[in-house]
Amino acid sequence: MIDTHCHFDFPPFADHPEDWVRRSVAAGVNSLVVPAVATENWERVAALAEAFPEISYAVGLHPVWMTSHQDEDIQKLDAFLADAPKGLVAVGECGLDFAIENADPERQIWLLTEQLQLAEKYQLPVILHSRKAHNELLQILNGFPAVKGVLHAFSGSEQIGREYIKRGFLLGIGGTITYERANKTRNAVKKLPLSSLVLETDAPDIPVFGFQGEPNLPERLPLIAHALATLKEVDVGEIIHATTQNSTACFALNV
């Protein structure tokens, strides 16, 4: 299995990452994509990929960390991507988040557009974050038809999901679907094509049902795979095969 979204540079993984990698592999999760959220994280995720063949990474400017981003970070991102570092598979995590305090939508849109231009320039997929901003994000993506990637932590309606799929995006399916009360997301995921879905934990965030209040872990990805298999009424092996193929193709992974 591939965990397409895991913040392995955050606690608790930052201490003794080799133990956490070992535990993930033992659980059947043999590949992790680690997106960075700000400039100070880029070298950290690159070092993880250098140390562990199981880890690939992305670099970007996350909207929730808006206050720490500088305009010149776009030039830094351009320079970083120009080096084509080993293990780098995407631009991200980037996107729009209008739910945060002092959201500053205009600046968020500028930062995202600049990152999408770099993804286009370097022919890389993007890992997108969206909260309370689907309409604006979809509108922006219309201007970048060549840019594909993953809408991370999908929790929208079937219609919203299909809008991203229409633009060539995969949907990241995580712990939300393990909660029976998440009817809208579960019903949408049930109807959306398996060919457009990938698995993710967003560890240490978005805990899986039964582990509320604890940091989420990549080793719990099988619980998400089983929940998806139940929703889709197929064997879990089919889920693992399809999502692994989708992830591998999107991020050009060698697994």
Which helix or strand (DSSP H or E) is residue 171 part of? Answer: strand 169-173
What's the pLDDT tens digit per position in 118-136? 999 999 999 999 999 999 9
Q: What is the pLDDT of residues 99-121, one digit of tens each?
A: 999 999 999 999 999 999 999 99
Q: In what order do the strands lie in the sheet with 55-59?
A: 2-3, 31-35, 55-59, 88-97, 126-131, 149-151, 169-173, 197-199
On average, the pLDDT of the chain sits at 97
Residue 156 tokens, joined:
């929208």
The 3-state DSSP class for residue 84 equals: coil
Alpha helices, DSSP H only, in 90-220? 105-121, 134-141, 158-166, 183-191
For residue 55, pLDDT beyond 80: yes
Given a cut of 90, whether residue 84 has pLDDT beyond it is no
Confidence (pLDDT) at 254: 79
What was the pLDDT predicted at 124?
A: 98
Q: Are 24 and 32 in contact (CB under 8 A)?
A: yes
134-141 vs 158-166: helix axis angle to the nearest 10?
A: 20
H helix intervals, 12-127 = 17-26, 39-51, 73-82, 105-121
- In this predicted structure, what is the pLDDT of residue 51? 97
More confident residue, 65 or 59: 59
31 has a pLDDT exceeding 80: yes
Q: Which of residues 84 and 27 earns the better pLDDT score?
A: 27
Q: What would the two tokens of residue 233 be?
A: 């009424």
Residue 255: pLDDT over 80:
no
pLDDT at 111: 97
Query: Which pLDDT score, from 0 to 100, does residue 160 have?
Result: 97
Rg (CA), the chain: 17
pLDDT computed for residue 248 by the predictor: 98
Residue 8's pLDDT is what? 96
Give the span between the Cα atoms of 255 and 244, in whole angstroms.
Answer: 9
Question: ∠ at Cα 188 (149, 208), nearest 5°?
Answer: 80
As a whole number, mean pLDDT of residues 8-23 equals 96
175-231 residue pLDDT tens: 999 999 999 999 999 999 999 999 999 999 999 999 999 999 999 999 999 999 999
